Homo-oligomer: A and B are copies of this chain.
Amino acid sequence: MSEYVVAVDVGGTSMKGGLVTRAGTVAATDRRPTGAELGPGNVIAAVRSFTGDLAARGAELFGTAPAAAGIAVPGLVDDATATALYAANLGWRDVPAADLVPLDVPVLLGHDVRTGGLAESVLGAGRELSDFLFLPIGTGIAGAMVIGGGPYGGTSGWAGEIGHVPVFPEGEQCACGQIGCLETYASASAVSRRYSARAASPATAEEVATLTAAGDPLAMKVWDDAVEALSLALATYTLLLDPSAIVLGGGLAEAGPLLADPLAVRLGKRLTFRTAPPLRKAALGVAAGMLGAALLGWRAAGVPEAGASWSPDVSRTPAVP
């Protein structure tokens, strides 16, 4: 069998790719735009070209075609037919895996957040945990619910949409059409938007975090609302799922104790008859999706045990986007 797989994490605006060996060595990485603004046909061509170029690079390095490919994509995936069903931000519908990978090798597709959760589960912050929540907080919020050792997708692939849990039913309108969703208070873009709408000049979420740490009252209020919304959603998650930990990732988690410390206090206060699960920081940063795609690739290649012994050298995402 070939010594490596092609792994690609397709995001809304850019793709991260890598060649990953069975021992977990990341032999090469690359990054490209998805070109989503040019329409779904262009995105499919871009992914196809990217995976093809990664495989060509692999042929140079290893002298063979890859053993398989793993692709993490936004939106719904049908595992049974290896089809990317639907992604609102990319505009595609019913894209077979073969359209994304111009190679005669096994391919597994995965939902982007759950693929990142798979990586955190197998080789990241949830390594020894069978049941936990991986919650990346970025432009939007969705969670990967690891249940019984693996990411859980629900009946139709829509599980984990914690960003649209109604935390303040009398609250602000969310872009989804609903009222008071977690995401509309606590995503990195919400923190930036809510501060900027009230301040003399706009600020990124990272800047709001800095202002909060410096004691700026308006920033502190916006930050406090985000913490309050997260504490409600995570109390609900804990009461329903009884996880052994909550792993915080994404840009907002880079704020570290500024987010995690008040959140842990409030989550504990909201749970009266049980203890709160510990909060952990995600271990794999922005590489989680690509590494999870590599795990999918090795599963497609018939090596499901790959990953447990990997010690990836992860360059962390530096800051709130």
A interface residues (Cβ-Cβ under 8 A, vs B): 88, 130-131, 143, 145, 147-148, 152-162, 164-170, 176-178, 232, 235-237, 239-244, 270, 272-274, 277
Q: How far is the CA of A206 from the CA of B239 in the complex (A)?
A: 28
Is A243 within 8 A of B152, CB to CB?
Answer: no
Residues of B within 8 A of A154 (CB): 131, 241-243
Is B145 within 8 A of A148, CB to CB?
Answer: no
Is A167 within 8 A of B164, CB to CB?
Answer: no
Is A168 within 8 A of B169, CB to CB?
Answer: yes
Task: Name the one of B148, B168, B232 contacting A148, with C-beta atoms under 8 angstroms.
Answer: B148
- Which 4 pairs, one residue from A and one from B, show the smallest C-beta to C-beta distance? A154-B242, A177-B272, A159-B242, A155-B244
Q: How far is the CA of A153 from the CA of B152 in the complex (A)?
A: 15
Is A167 within 8 A of B169, CB to CB?
Answer: yes
Q: What number of copies of this chain does the assembly contain?
A: 2
Residue of B nearest to A161 (CB): B239
Residues of B within 8 A of A244 (CB): 155-156
Majority SS of interface residues in chain A? Answer: loop
Mind listing 13 A-B residue pairs with CB under 8 Å? A131-B155, A145-B241, A148-B152, A156-B244, A157-B242, A158-B242, A161-B239, A161-B242, A165-B236, A166-B232, A166-B236, A169-B232, A236-B236
Interface centre among A168, A169, A170 (most CB of B within 10 A): A169
Task: Name the one of B152, B157, B235, B239 contacting A147, with C-beta atoms under 8 angstroms.
Answer: B152
Residues of B within 8 A of A167 (CB): 169
Is B176 within 8 A of A235, CB to CB?
Answer: no
Task: Name the one of B131, B161, B277 contacting A240, with C-beta atoms under 8 angstroms.
Answer: B161
Q: How distant is A128 from chain B, measured CB to nearest CB, in Å?
A: 12
Q: How distant is A3 from chain B, measured CB to nearest CB, in Å?
A: 34
Is B240 within 8 A of A155, CB to CB?
Answer: no
Is B270 within 8 A of A178, CB to CB?
Answer: yes
Q: How far is the CA of A75 from the CA of B219 in the complex (A)?
A: 43
Q: How far is the CA of A236 from the CA of B155 in the complex (A)?
A: 15
Is B235 within 8 A of A237, CB to CB?
Answer: no
Residues of B within 8 A of A274 (CB): 156, 158, 161
Known: A159-B241, A159-B242, A170-B170. A272 touches B236 (CB 8 A): no
